[in-house]
Chain A
Amino acid sequence: MTDRNIIELRDVEKRYGTFVAAGGINLDLKEGEFFSLLGPSGCGKTTVLRMIAGFQEPTKGTVLIDGQDMEGVPANNRPTNMVFQSYAIFPHLNVGNNVAYGLRGKAPMAEIDQRVAEALEMVELGGLQDRGASELSGGQRQRVALARALIMRPKVLLLDEPLSALDKKLREQMQFEMRNLQQSLGITFVMVTHDQYEAMTMSDRIGVMFNGRLKQVDTPTTLYARPCDQQVASFIGEMNILPAQLLGETGDTLSIDAVAFGQMEIQRNPNVTTSSREMNIGIRPEQLEITAEEPEDYPSTVQGTVSNVAFYGENIHYHIQVAETEKPISVSVPNYFHTVDFKRGDAVWLGLQGASVIDLGTDTE
């Protein structure tokens, strides 16, 4: 990844009548970066991708690719290539001709054959040139779509929900493969996804979108630990959100009094603002300790009753009802010794360290 901007979106907006599909988008993507646009369906992430690709023109603002203003430049003249959600494999062409499609008539035959072979090798479909489009499995179609786009040597590869059509196992495998491919090629990848885990495992940075707005752009770890508001906090992973009172602040440390857990010191989150004494805190389910007796080494504790148990294999999820809150508190515990320690109705204690509590500030919405 370099410091050079390969894509710059300047105040980009796409409007359909009065409906703003995407608006106020400002974004700089670095050369060689793996960037994901993450959000629920209908949030405008695909619209942004299609404006970069050239399938849609912004109603306002500027799209720059490698410093060039893309206004009026059709998709076929942009230095980007796309992997479609449906993969869009040409059904009348075999694998070789699908991959060669964009090079036909633009390079000598021998060179095309050479590059097709290389591209197929790269996506681990070496030697499958003559395979018919209808004989491919879902995973193979995805690889053909990748090879067909990468053979054009794009400056930016755009991926529209590239893994959503695959089953879970294959999807996880492809996440690693695509990340490795991106790192070895050094091409900028821009991926649209609604799957937070997909975005987190693959990306250098993630842009989270809601209702046509780009809410936060950060690295996966920052997004997870320092979300800019409750919406982002709850979309990326699970989050217990509790009200709290701000008692005082010294530097980057906030002294608060939280519902259920009481007084504690937490880290200031620079991505939020606290405009009054009333604020919210977020607690990730895996940051809570659950014990039968009151834990001694946790500064903040609360007593409650198990209201639900879900066994996930690698994790066990508990819902703990405490007296002070309406919603039960979610707790996730690793499955250490193949035992589920608590059952519904058990009285338990929750323990918490101030350092793992997330400052969500005063919600402005």
Chain B
Amino acid sequence: MKRPSTLTAYAFLYLVFLYLPVLFLPLFSFNSGTIVAFPIKGWTLDWYRKLGEQDTLIQALWNSLGVGTVVAILSTALGLFAARAFVRYRFRGQRAAEGLVMLPLVIPGIIVASSMLVLFLFLGLKPSLLTVVLGHTFLALPFSVSILKSAFDDFDASLEEASYDLGVGVFETFRRVTLPVVSPGIVASMLVTFTVSFDEFVLAFFLSGNQPTLPVYIWSQIRFPAKLPNVLALGSILLLTSVLLLVLAEYFRRRSSTSEVR
């Protein structure tokens, strides 16, 4: 079928507008010159090679990986119980509760970040990776709740009843039926929340103190023009990793909603 050509052109421009800026990142990361501008002087992999030699970068990477992992576990665990309650039970204030859990998606990050900093200082918590973890968990919770809610939506409530009926108690039922059946949703949630934390800048900037996460480290390097190509290389790797993680998460999310035969 032949489509109207103007519509095709519009769709093409749309995608260019969305993704061209992002594509400059990997493109210039292979440029041998240090100035980020056309024409490209020559092709090199040097910037990628040099990444491994920078100790502060490696430290920041470890910080980010650590924070991301803890955030993924925390927010998914919290989201699991919230999602089950939202889908399974009808209770007073349910809509309000669901709305409040989703709120971090729309509150401006800078507001959350500054108020959290004030709160943590008030509580005597020095900015550190711990405060970043707490902030990121707050931010990642809506993602984990919405992914797990869709996993529980497709979960036939009589599966748990069947387990009780067969003489198995509440906790063992959770372990032997609930967890395995929603496990693809759990994996998807952990991947997404990890990515949310790994890529987050504003909160981490406010709350990380002298333990920078990777995005905070990158920001600090952008001020030095000589380091810029290096940052581009690092950014390209992060970009690729994030996309891969999200694709993987989407795969698991879909598996969770099709694994149930209705």
Interface, chain A (partner B; CB < 8 A)? 53-55, 74-77, 80-82, 84-86, 88-92, 101-102, 106, 133-134, 148-149, 152
Interface membership of chain B positions 150-180, coded 1 if the CB is closer than 8 angstroms to chain A and 0 otherwise:
0000001011011111111100000011001
- Evaluate whether A81 and B166 lie within 8 angstroms (CB atoms) in the complex, with A86-B158, A90-B177 already known: yes
How many A-B residue contacts, CB cutoff 8 Å? 66
> Interface size bucket, B side?
20 to 34
Asked if residues A91 and B259 are in contact (CB atoms below 8 Å), the reply is: yes
Of the candidates B156, B169, B181, which one forms a contact with A92 in the assembled complex, judged by CB atoms under 8 Å apart? B181
- B260 at interface, CB cutoff 8 A: yes
Of the candidates A53, A82, A134, which one forms a contact with B261 in the assembled complex, judged by CB atoms under 8 Å apart? A134
Asked if residues B164 and A91 are in contact (CB atoms below 8 Å), the reply is: no
**Chain B contact residues: helix, strand, loop or mixed:** helix
Asked if residues B164 and A102 are in contact (CB atoms below 8 Å), the reply is: no
**Closest 7 interchain pairs by CB?**
A102-B166, A88-B162, A88-B158, A92-B180, A75-B164, A84-B158, A76-B164
Q: List 8 A-B contacts (CB under 8 A).
A: A74-B164, A76-B164, A80-B165, A82-B161, A88-B159, A89-B261, A91-B181, A148-B162
What's the nearest-Cβ distance from chain A to residue B261, in Å?
5
Besides A82-B161, A88-B159, 9 new A-B residue pairs in contact (Cβ under 8 A), listed by A number: A53-B165, A76-B167, A81-B166, A82-B165, A84-B161, A90-B159, A90-B162, A92-B183, A102-B167
- Evaluate whether A76 and B169 lie within 8 angstroms (CB atoms) in the complex, with A91-B261, A92-B180, A134-B261 already known: yes
**Complex interface: chain A residues within 8 A of B180 (CB):** 92
Asked if residues B158 and A152 are in contact (CB atoms below 8 Å), the reply is: no
Q: Which residue of A lies closest to B259 (CB)?
A: A91
C-alpha gap A149/B162 in the complex (Å): 9
**Complex interface: chain A residues within 8 A of B159 (CB):** 88, 90-91
C-alpha gap A86/B165 in the complex (Å): 14
- Evaluate whether A55 and B167 lie within 8 angstroms (CB atoms) in the complex, with A90-B177, A91-B261 already known: no
C-alpha gap A260/B168 in the complex (Å): 62
Of the candidates A75, A90, A91, A133, which one forms a contact with B165 in the assembled complex, judged by CB atoms under 8 Å apart? A75
What's the nearest-Cβ distance from chain A to residue B52, in Å?
42
Interface positions of B from 225 to 243, Cβ below 8 Å from A: none
Q: Which of B156, B162, B176, B177 has the most CB of A within 10 A?
A: B162
C-alpha gap A193/B244 in the complex (Å): 50
C-alpha gap A149/B259 in the complex (Å): 23
Q: Which of B167, B176, B177 has the most CB of A within 10 A?
A: B167
Q: Which residue of A lies closest to B155 (CB)?
A: A91
Q: Which residue of A lies closest to B166 (CB)?
A: A102
**Complex interface: chain B residues within 8 A of A77 (CB):** 167
C-alpha gap A101/B172 in the complex (Å): 12
Asked if residues B260 and A91 are in contact (CB atoms below 8 Å), the reply is: yes
Of the candidates B156, B167, B169, B183, which one forms a contact with A88 in the assembled complex, judged by CB atoms under 8 Å apart? B156
Asked if residues B162 and A84 are in contact (CB atoms below 8 Å), the reply is: yes
**Complex interface: chain B residues within 8 A of A90 (CB):** 159, 162-163, 177, 181
Q: Which residue of A lies closest to B168 (CB)?
A: A76
Interface positions of B from 206 to 250, Cβ below 8 Å from A: none
**Complex interface: chain B residues within 8 A of A85 (CB):** 158
**Complex interface: chain A residues within 8 A of B161 (CB):** 55, 75, 82, 84, 88
**Complex interface: chain A residues within 8 A of B162 (CB):** 82, 84, 88, 90, 148
Q: Which residue of A lies closest to B161 (CB)?
A: A55
C-alpha gap A80/B164 in the complex (Å): 11
C-alpha gap A102/B259 in the complex (Å): 22
**Complex interface: chain B residues within 8 A of A53 (CB):** 165
Q: Which residue of B lies closest to A77 (CB)?
A: B167
What's the nearest-Cβ distance from chain B to residue A46, in Å?
12
**Complex interface: chain B residues within 8 A of A81 (CB):** 165-166
**Complex interface: chain B residues within 8 A of A76 (CB):** 164-169
What's the nearest-Cβ distance from chain B to residue A324, in Å?
52
Asked if residues B259 and A152 are in contact (CB atoms below 8 Å), the reply is: no
C-alpha gap A8/B159 in the complex (Å): 27
Asked if residues A106 and B177 are in contact (CB atoms below 8 Å), the reply is: no
**Complex interface: chain B residues within 8 A of A149 (CB):** 165-166
